[in-house]
Amino acid sequence: MTTDQQALEQQAINVIRGLSMDAPHAASSGHQGTAMSLAPAAHVLWTRVMNYDASEPSWADRDRFILSPGHASILLYSMLHLTGFGLTLDDLKAFRQWDSLTPGHPEVGHTAGVEVTTGPLGQGFANGVGMAIAEESLRSRFGSEVCDHFIYGIVSDGDLAEGVSHEAASLAGHLGLGRLIYLYDDNHVSIDGHTEILLSDDAGARFRAYGWDVNEIGEAGEDLDALEAAFLQAKTVTDKPSIIIVRTYIGTPSPDHTDDPHAHGYVFKDDQIASTKAAMGMPNEPFHVPGEVLDFYRAAGTQGAAARKAQQEVAAAWTGDRATYDACINATGIVDWAADLPTYDVGESIATRVAGGKAMDAILDSVPGIMGGGADLTGNTGTKIDRGVFSAEDRSGRQIYFGIREHGMGAIMNGMALHGGCVPVGGTFLVFSDYMRGAVRLAALSNAKSIFVWTHDSIGVGEDGPTHQPVEHVAALRAIPNLRVIRPADANEASQAWGVAVGSDGPTALIMSRQNLPVLEGTASGESAKGGYTLVDPDGQPDLVLVATGSEVHKCVEVAAAMNASGTKTRVVSLPCWELFDEQSADYRNSVLPKGVPTLAVEAGSTMGWHRFADDVIGIDRFGASAPASRIMDEFGISVDNITTRATSLLG
């Protein structure tokens, strides 16, 4: 490399550092120091290592990049602007402002070039594991002609401190995900101060124990050739994920705030920016990007164009199973896939967790992207995928044994969904959805098509007691925007719930019973896809409406039969999914739940939110107890007798 080339690259890195100070300063908010110290690593990745074409950010076979410490978002935005992904200088100037393309933390789907939504630490780390699983699966099933790329990421002390990173790193090492390469920014800084006050882990030993390839390159954070060599060496390791550990100094090269914990946040203001730019030999001009630097980066942004075009031509000529491949890539089914969903006859008795498993099994061939499993509860949750096991030895299998790693499972599923090529499924008991909540929230925020299967959905779990009996969980999940929460009443509704999950965008929560439930008259109609519908209806205007979900619907049907026989016109409404019901027209919703008619809601869980639909609610607003399920249900008033009493009282 010539002296002029070296000087240009250093100037380019200085420009990244200048933007990393300027944009947060314009916003009077943000994180500057980490982006500054990571500028050389980002420069190397975007100019020397990654295979991408900025003119086609959605090219299916591009290398993926994840900035797990999303607070350093200005680093990613600077690279996306400089290399030509469409962000302008004006977008950088609008950093953290209303409706800008440069929000405080990266958001997938909002800004071209952002692969995952990061910010909550550890999530991006685990997303990358999911992306690596998806890449390995596609390459094994369809060949390297259509899928052959790497997953790169930058991770921080905070990412590695969060428990989700331990779960995900353990599984990644076990699976030997050789296309996963992380740079660990070991800057020894946290918000509270230098990490020595709270952390004494040996990160290298930790990751070697997980089965990762570890390359500790010391204080090479400014050495472009050493960084490049480390990345290229990691690419040669095919049987295990790689982590490059580099010591950096936050805020480099500030005369005042290098290695200063305050540089984690917004510390570089007028005087500090001026002194740092002077140290770099830059003019004290905000958002300074010289033409030669922009030309250099734009050339880097298009250097993958030839490879991209060649790969797309090969992929277009590929003679494999195109229908199966397209269904995987589009995360949907082959034509008429929903016809494979089973239906059940009135009078059969089957737990919805079992019916859900049968529904998934029935569409495994017609929805070939379905891939996943359970958190050590595969059989219990109906997430057994009888199409081989995805392992270090066999990448073609679709069953993943996530192990007891609920949080990691959720975040890995999101990475799989956002990578594309599969429909990720993960199952555990509903009570453990708490362990997954961070990932579930990000699935909703990212509109990731993850299917969360949560079973053992009420105090009907019985003798296991309150530690295993979900009470507040369905209400808590319904509080998450953009998450469909479906609690089917019987096997037919469970099958239809799978139809909704596969046939829709975004995440779906399937809430399934442990206990057997009777198949009810009218559920085979498919109306449950509307979120709520009339299941039992008397002639004429009803005197009373009973509305319920899940295992409580059949009890309401029994109560309604007796009340209708005695002359009280009683309607039963099954409302398995509030979110789908809200999408229906006001006329339809009012036709199902007519205004002015006394309405009683019944659900074996928190009553929170039910008063928007009902005048009175039978629910559970305390923790459960340990006893046989039938005894618990009776004690908590989830019984035909109590429903009848409360309905009669409501009628006055």
- Position 507 confidence tier, pLDDT thresholds 50, 70, 90: very high
According to DSSP, the β-strands at 213-218 and 242-247 are parallel
Whether residue 154 is predicted with pLDDT greater than 80 in this model: the reply is yes
pLDDT over 70 for what percent of the chain?
A: 100
Mean pLDDT taken over the chain: 97
Domain boundaries, the chain: 3-308, 337-518, 530-651
Question: Looking at residue 74, what is its pLDDT?
Answer: 98
Alpha-carbon distance of 383 to 449, in angstroms, equals 16
Contacts of 539 (CB under 8 A, 6+ apart): 569
Give the Å distances, CA to CA, from 626 to 462, 630, 631: 6, 11, 10
As a whole number, mean pLDDT of residues 220-230 equals 98
CB atoms within 10 A of CB 319: 6
Whether residue 1 is predicted with pLDDT greater than 90 in this model: the reply is no
**Dihedrals phi, psi of 162, to nearest 5 degrees:** -65, 140
337-518 CATH: 3.40.50.970
For 330-454, where are the alpha helices, taking DSSP H only? 352-362, 378-381, 406-419, 433-446
| 530-651 shares the fold of 3-308 | yes
- Position 490 confidence tier, pLDDT thresholds 50, 70, 90: very high
Write out pLDDT tens, residues 257-274. 999 999 999 999 999 999
Whether residue 499 is predicted with pLDDT greater than 90 in this model: the reply is yes
Alpha-carbon distance of 589 to 138, in angstroms, equals 43
Catalytic positions, please?
A: 406
- Position 652 confidence tier, pLDDT thresholds 50, 70, 90: confident
Write out pLDDT tens, residues 184-196. 999 999 889 899 9
Q: Going along 475-575, which residue ranges are E strands?
A: 484-486, 508-511, 516-518, 533-536, 544-548, 570-574
Question: Looking at residue 360, what is its pLDDT?
Answer: 98
Question: Using alpha carbons only, what angle is made at residue 377 by residues 372 and 383, rounded to the nearest 5 degrees?
Answer: 40
Alpha-carbon distance of 495 to 529, in angstroms, equals 10
According to DSSP, the β-strands at 544-548 and 516-518 are unpaired
- Position 92 confidence tier, pLDDT thresholds 50, 70, 90: very high
Dihedral sign computed on CA atoms, order 582, 410, 427, 637: negative
- Position 593 confidence tier, pLDDT thresholds 50, 70, 90: very high
Q: Please tell me whether residue 194 adopts helix, strand or coil conformation.
A: strand
pLDDT over 90 for what percent of the chain?
A: 98
Write out pLDDT tens, residues 606-643. 999 999 999 999 999 999 999 999 999 999 999 999 99
The domain 3-308 having CATH identifier 3.30.450.20: the answer here is no
Question: Using alpha carbons only, what angle is made at residue 101 by residues 269 and 278, rounded to the nearest 5 degrees?
Answer: 25
Write out pLDDT tens, residues 511-523. 999 999 999 999 9
Alpha-carbon distance of 605 to 34, in angstroms, equals 45
- Separation of first and last alpha carbons in the chain: 89
What residues are paired with 40 via a beta bridge?
Answer: none
Dihedral sign computed on CA atoms, order 496, 408, 428, 361: positive
530-651 CATH: 3.40.50.920
pTM for the full model? 0.97
Question: Looking at residue 76, what is its pLDDT?
Answer: 98
Question: Looking at residue 4, what is its pLDDT?
Answer: 86
According to DSSP, the β-strands at 533-536 and 516-518 are unpaired
Write out pLDDT tens, residues 280-326. 999 999 999 999 999 999 999 999 999 999 999 999 999 999 999 99
